[in-house]
Each structure stands twice: as structure tokens, then as C-alpha cells.
């Protein structure tokens, strides 16, 4: 069995080395594949990745976008390259810890789920701006209302799929609206999303956080459009 890890990256020169180091250091009872997709970085991330990948095994690959197209576009580029039985998305910052992978994988490996989300709200209270927390609560409740779900964290980065599930999703979102699109399309197929608690270390906008209130509006539109 193999886990494919898609790492969309945009201007993460300060964190990408540590993130990839943590992913490579994981001890898992299955093979892995890492596909890093640089989404037009201009801060030296692209150059660092090109030098880094030269010393990696053949199950590690780096793809490049000529310009910044967005997280959704980067995920689609990664999906075109994956070969694993399971697929997980890993952001290039340090908000999410790859050491949570075994916890996420357990329901899939045990045959209890086909899609698993890592919820930041099932464990200890995560460090998060008030506006960010309220935005997450609102979008999650809207998702549950529209799709009859019972999620606690729709906007989580840690979304883990059986490959046959995500490969069939007709994804079109280019930017952060890929998060509600993934969830909506899974729920529209009647597939249950199982949640497990994960750790979370939120960062500030000064430190490089990119999502903002405009993405909230687009997320609402995406959820409503795909439901209708």
C-alpha cells in the first residue's frame, strides 16, 4: 500500500525545508510518494526545491507552475502525478504536523472510512484568531446544513482520501475554494467523512498566512452553487 502526499507550496522559503524533513522522517507501515507543487513562488522556494530534489529518492518529485495559479490548481497538478492507494494534502507551512498521519490513516487502513479529515476542533482549543475561528465555524455549519453532514472542521488542510474517491471528483476550483469544493463533491456522492483530532499551530498574516475574508465569500458561493 502507498500513501501519496501532495504538497502545494507558494512562497514558503522559511518553512518548506522543515515540513519536508518531517514528512521524510515519518515511520509508516506503507510506502509513500511525495509530490511537491511549487505554485509560482518568487521568494527562493522554487530554487531551493530544485536543489533539494536532486538528492531525493525516485518517489519524490517536484512540479512547477510558471506563475501563481492557486492552491486548487496546485492540487490538481499533484493529483495528475499520484500513484498511491491513499492521497493526503500537506500545506507547506508549519501549521499542520505530519506526525498526525498515522492517526489519519487508521480509519482507511482498517476499512472504516474512505475519506478522513483531521479536525482542529476535536482536541484542545487550537490557537486561532477570533475572526478565523468564527469563519471556520460558520462555513462548517453551513456545510452541515446544506449537505446533511456533521463535520466540525470543513476548512482543515488535512484531507485524506482513498485514491479512487478523489480521482473521480471533477475539481475545478483554482484557489482556496478547493476546500469547500472537495467537501461538497464528496458529500454529494453520499460518502461519509470521518474526522479524527489533530494538532494545529496557527500562524499570523505577518508570518505568511494567506487566506482572508474574501476567501470566506468565495467558499460560501462554492458551497451553495454545488448544492444547487
pLDDT, one tens digit per residue, over 55-113 is 899 999 999 999 999 999 999 999 999 999 999 999 998 999 999 999 999 999 999 99
Whether the pLDDT of residue 154 is over 60: the answer is yes
Task: Output the pLDDT for position 215.
Answer: 79
Q: Class of the 2-227 domain?
A: alpha beta
Task: Output the pLDDT for position 208.
Answer: 44
State phi, psi for 159 to the nearest 5 degrees: -120, 120
Q: At what angle do helices 178-188 and 213-227 cross, to 10 degrees?
A: 20
Whether the pLDDT of residue 205 is over 50: the answer is no
- 75, 176 in Cβ contact below 8 A? no
Q: Which of 194, 196, 183 is nearest to 145 (CA)?
A: 183
- 64, 46 in Cβ contact below 8 A? yes
Of 65-74, 119-128, 187-196, minimum mean pLDDT range: 119-128
Give domain limits for the chain: 2-227
Query: Cα(209)–Cα(131) distance, rounded to whole angstroms?
Result: 14
Q: Is 198 left (phi over 0), alpha (psi -120 to 50) or beta?
A: beta
Query: Cα(159)–Cα(44) distance, rounded to whole angstroms?
Result: 28
Whether the pLDDT of residue 118 is over 80: the answer is yes
Percent of the chain with pLDDT over 90: 82
Task: Output the pLDDT for position 202.
Answer: 67
Query: Cα(17)–Cα(52) distance, rounded to whole angstroms?
Result: 9
pTM (two decimals): 0.91
Burial 75-93 (b: 16+ CB within 10 A, else e): bbbbbeebebbbbbbbbbb
Task: Output the pLDDT for position 23.
Answer: 96
Query: Cα(64)–Cα(78) distance, rounded to whole angstroms?
Result: 10
Task: Output the pLDDT for position 115.
Answer: 98
- 115, 191 in Cβ contact below 8 A? yes
Amino acid at each position: 500500500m502507498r500513501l501519496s502526499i501532495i504538497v502545494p507550496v507558494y512562497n514558503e522559503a522559511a518553512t518548506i525545508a522543515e515540513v519536508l524533513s518531517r514528512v521524510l522522517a515519518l515511520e509508516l507501515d506503507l510506502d509513500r510518494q511525495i509530490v511537491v507543487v511549487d505554485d509560482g513562488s518568487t521568494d527562493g522556494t522554487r530554487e531551493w526545491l530544485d536543489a533539494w530534489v536532486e538528492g531525493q529518492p525516485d518517489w519524490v518529485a517536484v512540479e512547477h507552475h510558471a506563475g501563481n495559479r492557486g492552491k486548487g490548481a496546485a492540487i490538481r497538478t499533484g493529483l495528475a502525478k499520484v500513484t498511491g492507494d491513499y492521497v493526503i494534502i500537506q500545506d507547506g507551512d508549519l501549521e499542520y504536523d505530519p506526525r498526525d498521519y498515522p492517526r489519519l490513516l487508521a480509519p482507511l487502513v482498517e476499512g472504516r472510512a474512505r475519506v478522513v479529515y483531521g479536525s482542529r476542533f476535536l482536541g484542545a482549543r487550537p490557537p486561532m484568531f477570533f475572526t478565523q475561528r468564527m469563519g471556520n465555524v460558520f462555513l462548517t455549519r453551513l456545510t452541515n446544513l446544506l449537505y446533511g453532514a456533521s463535520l466540525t472542521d470543513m476548512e482543515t488542510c488535512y484531507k485524506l482520501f482513498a485514491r479512487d474517491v478523489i480521482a473521480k471528483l471533477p475539481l475545478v476550483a483554482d484557489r482556496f475554494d478547493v476546500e469547500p469544493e472537495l467537501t461538497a463533491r464528496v458529500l454529494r456522492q453520499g460518502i461519509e467523512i470521518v474526522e479524527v483530532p489533530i494538532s494545529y499551530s496557527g500562524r499570523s498574516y505577518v508570518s505568511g498566512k494567506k487566506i482572508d475574508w474574501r476567501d470566506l465569500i468565495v467558499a460560501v458561493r462554492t458551497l451553495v452553487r454545488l448544492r444547487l
